[in-house]
């Protein structure tokens, strides 16, 4: 019941997405530009025109540790809301690292190992991606070196401990072991770090060492494609087709993983669900960002990607959904959003935690702060159905558990959690730093 192929939506799109550009030449980048960072098979997948890419047996053998993941009807939640809507959730928290991230960490580690790479570097914010890659590297005998955003490193010591249990080495970022980290530290010795800075460090470390490559946990086409196992499984598991599909978006991979297979059927005219991305009000790249070429990191080491961005200098307020605190967005999803293939809304932090607590008390599972955004929107949709009497089928992506986020829940329960308003001037200022 685990799918045997990943689904690549790119060839099915009515218009191809704009290519990434070399920052100096402004020309589309080629495989050679990416070779210092990624193994050839992943570069090939990044630009592939194959609709279905077979999942290697070695990857399936690891997926089997937790896949297929459960698709559940949230009957208790429905009852507590008194809604005629039928709510289904696809739960990725049963994976070793507790989220959807191992779905791509495992193939990334596998292809690197197969091409003779010995060590992978990466960055991590909340820690989900770092622990996923650490797990995947342990499976294929690779070393793993991780730069973890300093604020998370200090607030969530158990996340780095989990990475170490899996055998990885972990630095707080900014660190003194890279030039880009040292530069930040020289100017801001107490810097709390950011995903953009941590990406710069991990990219620099990979590019400057032998047999070492870099791995990214979201944003890129091949990452989104690996996540389509979520949606393919859901398609096979569902007894009725959804009218509404809801997922949260940070870099976009969990959302894409659930919705791409449904979009295939929608593009073919077989179904017509409303598809909705939910982003935090504090980091609203789809809804308030600009669709423009920008860097994926802070130091400007990555190619330029056309995406919805708040500017690579943008530092989001410290909401607890660390996985959604990213200035940019998947270029592929950004392109599809421009094509009108799905809609996007925002939710504030406290209404998300309220949804998380309600979900825990009814369905048992404690959700990570990221998918509480999808849950808050799902609950709002279900309440609209209560109002209208519509028996809609709602499918939502519950992409991870919140076992490492209980300090945030405690804060919410004690009434100390704050919502942030994001003045337009802050966005305008960050966007003014976009590359010319």
Burial of 94 (0-12, 13-18, 19+ CB in 10 A): middle
Instruction: Output 22 or 164, the one with its CB closest to its own copies.
Output: 164
Please, what is the minimum distance in Å from the beta carbon of residue 158 to its own copies?
4
Tell me the closest approach of the beta carbon of residue 435 to its own copies, in angstroms.
41
CA 423 to the chain's CA centroid:
25
Compute the least distance from the CB of residue 64 to its own copies, in Å: 9
In whole angstroms, the minimum distance from the beta carbon of 378 to its own copies comes to 17
Nearer to its own copies by C-beta: 53 or 62? 62
CA distance 259 to 39: 27
Comparing C-alpha atoms, which of 51, 31, 30 is closest to residue 40? 31
Binning the chain into helix, strand and coil, the percentages to the nearest 5 are 45, 20, 40
- Residue whose CB is less far from its own copies, 39 or 102: 102
Taking the complex as a whole, how short is the minimal distance between the CB of residue 199 and its own copies, in angstroms? Answer: 25
Tell me how far, at minimum, the Cβ of 187 lies from its own copies, in Å. Answer: 31
DSSP 432: T
With CA atoms as reference, report the closest residue to 355 among 37, 74, 46, 111.
74
Nearer to its own copies, 72 or 292 (CB): 72
Binding residues for its own copies, rule: CB under 8 A, are: 61-62, 65-66, 72, 75-76, 94-96, 98, 102, 135, 138-139, 157-158, 161-162, 164-167, 357, 360-366, 403-404, 406-407, 409-410, 413
Smallest separation (angstroms) from its own copies to the CB of 97: 8
Cβ proximity to its own copies, 114 vs 361, nearer residue:
361
Nearest distance in Å: CB 69, its own copies: 10
DSSP string, 108-169: HHHHHHHTT--EEEEEESSSHHHHHHHHHHHHHT-EEEEEEEHHHHHH-HHHHHHHHHTT-E
For its own copies, the closer CB: 62 or 248: 62
Query: Given the complex with its own copies, which of 16 and 157 has the nearer CB atom?
Result: 157
How far apart are CB 62 and its own copies at their closest, in Å?
8
Buried b / exposed e over 106-145, threshold 16 CB at 10 Å, is bbbbbbbbeeebebbbbbbbbbbbbbbbbbbbbbbebebb
Nearer to its own copies, 110 or 291 (CB): 110
**CB closer to its own copies, 80 vs 191:** 80
Residue 283 burial (10 A CB sphere; 0-12, 13-18, 19+): buried
CA angle 64, 118, 178 (to 5 degrees): 115
Phi/psi of residue 173, each to 5°?
Answer: -115, 135
CA separation for the pair 435, 302 (Å, rounded)? 12
Closest approach of its own copies to the CB of residue 61, in Å: 8
Structure tokens at 118: 């010995």
Residue number, 135 or 260, with CB nearest to its own copies: 135
User: DSSP readout, 375-393?
Assistant: HHHHHHHHHHHHHHT---E
Asked if 328 and 399 count as a contact pair (C-beta separation under 8 A), the reply is: no
- Among the listed residues 395, 401, 368, the one whose alpha carbon sits nearest the alpha carbon of residue 382: 395
């Amino acid at each position: 019941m685990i799918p045997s192929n990943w689904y690549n939506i790119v060839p099915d799109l009515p218009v191809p997405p704009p290519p990434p550009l070399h920052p100096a030449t402004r020309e589309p980048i080629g495989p050679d530009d990416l070779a210092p960072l990624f193994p050839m098979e992943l570069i090939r997948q990044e630009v592939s025109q194959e609709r279905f890419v077979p999942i290697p047996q070695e990857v399936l053998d690891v997926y089997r540790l937790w896949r297929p993941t459960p698709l559940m009807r949230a009957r208790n939640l429905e009852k507590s809301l008194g809604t005629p809507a039928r709510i289904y959730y696809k739960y990725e928290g049963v994976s070793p690292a507790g989220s959807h991230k191992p779905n791509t960490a495992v193939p990334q580690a596998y292809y690197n190992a197969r091409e003779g790479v010995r060590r992978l570097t990466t960055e991590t914010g909340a820690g989900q991606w770092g622990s996923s890659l650490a797990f995947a590297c342990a499976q294929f005998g690779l070393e793993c070196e991780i730069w973890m955003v300093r604020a998370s490193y200090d607030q969530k010591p158990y996340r780095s401990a989990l990475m170490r249990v899996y055998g990885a080495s972990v630095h707080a970022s900014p660190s003194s072991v890279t030039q880009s980290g040292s530069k930040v530290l020289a100017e801001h010795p107490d810097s709390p770090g950011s995903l953009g800075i941590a990406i710069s460090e991990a990219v620099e470390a990979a590019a400057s060492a032998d047999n070492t490559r870099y791995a990214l946990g979201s944003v890129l086409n091949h990452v989104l494609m690996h996540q389509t196992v979520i949606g393919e499984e859901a398609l096979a598991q569902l007894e009725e087709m959804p009218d509404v599909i809801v997922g949260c978006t940070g870099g976009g991979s969990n959302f894409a993983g659930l919705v791409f297979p449904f979009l295939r059927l929608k593009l073919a005219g077989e179904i017509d669900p409303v598809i909705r991305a939910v982003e935090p009000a504090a980091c609203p790249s789809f809804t308030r960002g600009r669709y423009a070429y920008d860097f994926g990191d802070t130091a400007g080491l990555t190619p330029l990607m056309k995406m919805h961005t708040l500017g690579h200098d943008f530092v989001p307020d410290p909401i607890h959904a660390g996985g959604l605190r990213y200035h940019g967005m998947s270029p592929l999803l950004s392109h599809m959003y421009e094509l009108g293939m799905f809609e996007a809304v925002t939710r504030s932090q406290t209404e998300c935690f309220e949804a998380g607590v309600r979900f825990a008390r009814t369905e048992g599972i404690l959700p990570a702060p990221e998918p509480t955004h999808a849950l808050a929107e799902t609950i709002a949709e279900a309440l609209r159905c209560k109002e209208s009497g519509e028996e809609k089928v709602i499918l939502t992506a519950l992409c991870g558990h919140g076992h490492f986020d209980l300090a945030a829940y405690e804060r919410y329960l004690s009434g100390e959690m704050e919502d942030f308003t994001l003045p337009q001037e802050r966005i305008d200022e960050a966007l003014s730093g976009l590359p010319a």
